[in-house]
Structures are given as structure tokens and as C-alpha cells.
Amino acid sequence: MLADWDGERATLEDLRAGTSRPASRDNAGVSVQHQAVWRRLVVIAGGRFEHNASFGDAFVPRGSVAFVVHEGGRDPLFGATSVHAAAGKGIKEPTLVQSFSLSPFFLGNPDLAPERSRSVEVGVDQRLATDRARIAFTWFDNRYQDLIALRTTNPQTFEAQYFNIGLSRARGAELSVDVAPTAELRARGSYTFLDSEVLDSTSPGSPLFQPGQPLLRRPRHSGFVDVSWSRARLGVTLTGLFIGHYLDSDFSSLEPPLTENPGYTTWDARVSYRVTARLTALLSIDNLANANYMEPLGYQALGRAARAGVRVTF
């Protein structure tokens, strides 16, 4: 059991208009969690009661269960098999900027409701080859009430204000693989399929937030791969990120009003060399292939960038 208090204080300014506004918010909460562990079964149940100056009182429960179906033992091929499930609710307050900003380009809305969520997931983990490999699959279904987004209120001046979308969902599946064929080599990868949709909108006339549209900047397909190798003093890591196309807008051209981000692929490399027990030399190269992409639209990502340094431990 734990209790906490959070006090937020800020002064928000619009430098162009020369105006300012003080903003404050006090939040307090109590969380309780209980965990029961048996040989092949783990059950966790908990919840949080929160009093928030923005939305009042709220209680958010959450629970999970994991069960080892097959312990594996000495089987050289199939190791432990476990299934898991979790469900719960969540709540997130608007930020002080979202509630009280004075800028006409991202005007605050003091009437914003908090974002609320309901999440359910079920999955299975399978270990293989005497724990040198693991495959995990998870199905999830999330519902979001009153997601906060920025809506253009004047296309000529690009003025915009924060608002609550309404009701939306995001469901899908994730597959991940982790292998370590040798002590020096390890590889990981995952793929996520995400099906999102606005179900009920407080802004049905907006081309971005009308019912039936996918959620903004949520790619339907995404994944990553990570390969690391180390021997003695040397370590090398290569990481790839893959993002499929998704609904996006730069909120400036607006003709046509909807724009699709085509997605992108990036590669990053990391090299480390332990010079002494306390000194390690580091080299990082971001966007190794010098990919040309924007995330989000309207903001060009950096090209290839290299950094070198040292890490000293005491």
C-alpha cells in the first residue's frame, strides 16, 4: 500500500500577446496491491483511488494472472509454456498546457475531461532449446474515452484548441521472438498489428476525427529487430525500427485535408570497447542508412548522425 501527493505549479505565457496566467493543481492518491504466488500460478490484484483537482475522485482497478501450463523440465526442445491475462482501467489527467495554455495555436481548454481507458490482454509465452529462445504472443483490446487531441479552429490563422475526441478503440496482436544461440550473440524482434478506430466523436465534422477514421499517428503495422554481439572487451549492437503507413497531417496545408504518412525504416548502430575496468569508449551512429522521413509530418527527421564519447564508472 502506498499514498502520494503531487502539487503542480506553473505560469503559462503568451509572449506574442504579452499575457500570462498562473496555473496550479493538487492531486492525492492511495494505491493497494496484493500478490499471491503458488508453484505454477501467480495472481496480482490492485487498484488506485485518486482525488484530482481536474476531475475529482476516481477508482481504477487492475488485475493479472499467469499460469505455467508446462514446466519444461529437461526437455531439450520445448521449455516452459505459460499463459497470462490482464485487465484493468486507467485514467490520465490533462496537462497544465492542455488545460490552461494561452497560445492561440494550442489553446488550453479548462473543461477537458481526463482520458480514461479499459484494457484487456491475453497471451502465451513459449521457451525453446533449453531457454536459448523464447516466443511470445499477446492479443490486446483497449478502449479509450475522451482522448485529448488538438483541433484546428481557424484554418486561415492555424489557431487550434485541445478537445476530447469521444470514444475510440485500439486492438490487435504482438508477436515477439528472443534468441541467444551463443553466449556472445543475442537477437530480438517483434511485430505489432494495430487496428484503431474512432467510434464516437465530439467533432464529427473534422476529417481527422470523424467516426470510422483510424486514430492519428497510430501505424497499423510496426516492428523492430535488435542484434547484439559481444566478446571480451568489444560490444556491437544493430537496431532496426519499422513503421508502416498511418493517418497523419501537418495541420498547415489542409489541401487535401487528410495526409497519409508513408512510414519509414531506420537503423541505429552502437559500438563499445572497454579500455579498462572503469573506462569504456562509445560510438553511436543514428539513422545509419540516412533515411529521409518525417515523424510527424512537417518535421523532418535528422539524417545520419555520429556521436563518440567515454563512460567512466567509479
Q: Which amino acid is at 59?
A: F
Q: Sign of torsion, CA 146 99 202 195?
A: negative
pLDDT in the model for residue 3: 94
Q: Checking phi first, is residue 289 left (phi over 0); if not, alpha (psi -120 to 50) or beta?
A: alpha
Q: Tell me the average pLDDT across 248-255.
A: 67
- 259-294 burial by CB neighbour count: b if 16+ within 10 A, else e? bebebbebbbebebeeeeeeebeeeebbbbeeeeee
Q: Are strands 234-243 and 221-231 parallel, antiparallel or unpaired?
A: antiparallel
Contact 1, 35 (CB under 8 A): no
Give residue-wise pLDDT tens across range 120-151: 999 999 999 888 999 999 999 999 999 898 88
Indicate the helix (H) or strand (E) that contains 263.
Answer: none
- What confidence score (pLDDT) does residue 285 get? 97
Residue 116 DSSP label: E
> Residue 256 — pLDDT band, cuts 50, 70, 90?
low
Q: What type of residue is 243?
A: I
Q: Given pLDDT bands bounded at 50, 70 and 90, which one contains residue 42?
A: very high
Tell me the pLDDT of the chain averaged across its residues: 91
Per-residue pLDDT reduced to its tens digit, 146-157: 989 888 888 777
Segment 97-125 shows an average pLDDT of 92
Do 29 and 3 form a contact (C-beta atoms < 8 A)? yes
CB 184 within 8 A of CB 129: no
Mean pLDDT of 28-45: 95
249 CB neighbour count, 10 Å cutoff: 21
Q: Is the pLDDT of residue 254 over 60?
A: no
